[in-house]
Structure 1
């Protein structure tokens, strides 16, 4: 599998699982590499091809081997991006470009995939009678537009397109949706960093749906708590509160969630996030005999009994604007 991932793989269908790590597959944290290999085991039997793009010019997986430079901001093409978030924002550019050009699904390397993509949404998207529409072209066009003239995220929110949002740059909406991240920076910075400013009506619900573990044990001190629970041994005392919580967390994910996004936090939250802890403790995610190992095993060997995922409709904002995509 690693040999195939390190090679150029021509695009022959829309069943593509795209991902990105700026310095290449072999430089990903080991827990992320395990995620990627798991994606292959889960999805390749139904015809999916997994690729991890990079920005290494002589790499077979160099991003511009797959997408046209015209689809990307000049800062990416020319290699002039700077600041601490070059990798995440490069992935944001490539997400739209890959899906626009070839189709498929783009995944963060930190995603623990639990349910095969055919059973998450792909079968529905392929159905000509499905009511769902794909918003990627609009998202990508808008994202590339606001990045014109920028080498980093600073000032993106000051674009005239986002003027109507300036009055409401607070966390009230996310808190009302039980999205209780303990941010250590203000709302404007979060909007610029996490690309929340574009008008994708399904984004908040889709992303909240990626936080099954947080919904189970809470957002407060999540990283350390999740790390401790998944590191708990299966042969620990079953009468302790920690054992009960680890059991509930693991089996909720395996039975009721399609995926779990494990985030690093990138300095935007109070306390350490799970991805940061796993980055600095190789192997902790899958220690033998732990709930973490059970989670990894279950994603590849168990099949959920539910026939379809639960769709949660995003609430309509109190104030909306009827404008063209690039109309200030």
Structure 2
């Protein structure tokens, strides 16, 4: 049976103004209740399932292929808490592909933005949901602006303070924000779980054109690493030692195909288009606010050796209540949660690539027996939920200093393969 709004476990009383008993950890401050959306979970859940007009660029975009009612309760709580945390200045849009749904993607984006397999519902393979989300995120940002956040993400910091103030500031060079992670030794690759920009962004437009072209005449992502637009790029190969990463139980060809939208970003950041003068290396270095994903979205994974079982165990530790013993495990859980709340912007939990790791926290929380474990009263998981709504961070977020990457630059049209048209130069020479 699909979870409904009434299945959502109760959260701490956010309407109370008595904060005298709330201990605030170092690096954090308490958010005044008047800055929060104080509606109940049920009211917000109902609101999320209605369509809302786009009145500004302050939009949060998220997607769940089968709709809100089919989300696991922990994912529902993620979105509810975004609404509560961001308050009235931001509008959260949760879209789907449910026939007849008023939050269907088709109400926001014309079919011309999508490949045939998307429009005809003939996408197949193990990653239809994630890749459907990949196809819609860039058109939404291009048309309406805002921030795309993957639904499996906790939000620990207000979007204004993550990047939006910088994007809005006319004195700032930044027009986009992303998180990046070292996917090859010494090479930071932008990931697509968090993307922020105002509408009409030229990088977003070209990024989507490349990704859409990969899907021409196909129904899944198999072999995308060999596509003419991407085949000049090496396969992804994350440095396990630097990322505290166990051996990925997945072939790198499949891993690269799964993250093909990130590969499209890489093509564009290394491309100069002679036809219109678009300079990807220059835009990447000067106009994108890039933060380290290991710090800002994968802290939990790195801190636990990417073990979903270990993450589950720490968060399931009882924090308060009868019989609680503040032993080594208790202190490890407290340090884990306090550090995350104070020093990371989001916590992204994913289900894949399927089989890549021995366990995923998302899979554990998805299971029926654990549907309330992300918010069970008295646990560190519930405290993490509480802190994500009620605490503000005091640190400043620092971007990666990219400089001018000393890499090959491709002189070609956005949709022109290297071996047919492209002239390649060193990043420090021609074109830079």
Cα offset, 1:318, TM superposition:
5.6
Tell me if the contact between 2:291 and 2:399 (Cα under 8 Å) persists in the aligned partners.
no
- Is 1:232 the counterpart of 2:306? The answer is no
In structure 1, C-alpha distance between the alignment counterparts of 2:148 and 2:236, rounded to whole Å: 28
In structure 2, C-alpha distance between the alignment counterparts of 1:326 and 1:255, rounded to whole Å: 42
Corresponding residue for 1:156? 224
Corresponding residue for 1:169? 235
Query: Measured at CA, do residues 142 and 268 of structure 1 come closer, stay the same or move farther in structure 2, by a change above 3 Å?
Result: farther
Deviations 1:12-65 (A, max 9, x none): 1111111111111111110000000000011123x1111111111200011010
Contiguous gaps of at least 5 residues in structure 2: 1-43, 177-202, 270-283, 418-432
- The number of aligned residues is 320
Corresponding residue for 2:62? 19
In structure 2, C-alpha distance between the alignment counterparts of 1:205 and 1:316, rounded to whole Å: 16
In structure 1, C-alpha distance between the alignment counterparts of 2:122 and 2:293, rounded to whole Å: 29
Corresponding residue for 1:198? 264
Corresponding residue for 1:108? 150
In structure 2, C-alpha distance between the alignment counterparts of 1:35 and 1:177, rounded to whole Å: 29
- Is 1:254 the counterpart of 2:344? The answer is no
In structure 1, C-alpha distance between the alignment counterparts of 2:416 and 2:243, rounded to whole Å: 32
In structure 1, C-alpha distance between the alignment counterparts of 2:164 and 2:221, rounded to whole Å: 32
Corresponding residue for 1:184? 249
- Is 1:289 the counterpart of 2:378? The answer is yes
In structure 2, C-alpha distance between the alignment counterparts of 1:86 and 1:303, rounded to whole Å: 36
Cα offset, 1:179, TM superposition:
6.2
Tell me if the contact between 2:214 and 2:224 (Cα under 8 Å) persists in the aligned partners.
yes
Corresponding residue for 1:312? 400
TM-score by length of 1: 0.91
Corresponding residue for 2:79? 36
CA RMSD of aligned residues (A): 2.0
Q: Which protein has the bigger helix share? A: 1
Query: Measured at CA, do residues 295 and 29 of structure 1 come closer, stay the same or move farther in structure 2, by a change above 3 Å?
Result: same
SS in 1 for 2:141: helix
Contiguous gaps of at least 5 residues in structure 1: none
In structure 2, C-alpha distance between the alignment counterparts of 1:68 and 1:19, rounded to whole Å: 17
Tell me if the contact between 1:217 and 1:249 (Cα under 8 Å) persists in the aligned partners.
no
SS in 2 for 1:321: strand
In structure 1, C-alpha distance between the alignment counterparts of 2:415 and 2:293, rounded to whole Å: 24
In structure 1, C-alpha distance between the alignment counterparts of 2:242 and 2:335, rounded to whole Å: 22
TM-score by length of 2: 0.70
Tell me if the contact between 2:60 and 2:147 (Cα under 8 Å) persists in the aligned partners.
yes
- Is 1:214 the counterpart of 2:301? The answer is yes
Q: Which has the larger Rg?
A: 2
Query: Measured at CA, do residues 176 and 169 of structure 1 come closer, stay the same or move farther in structure 2, by a change above 3 Å?
Result: farther
In structure 1, C-alpha distance between the alignment counterparts of 2:57 and 2:217, rounded to whole Å: 32
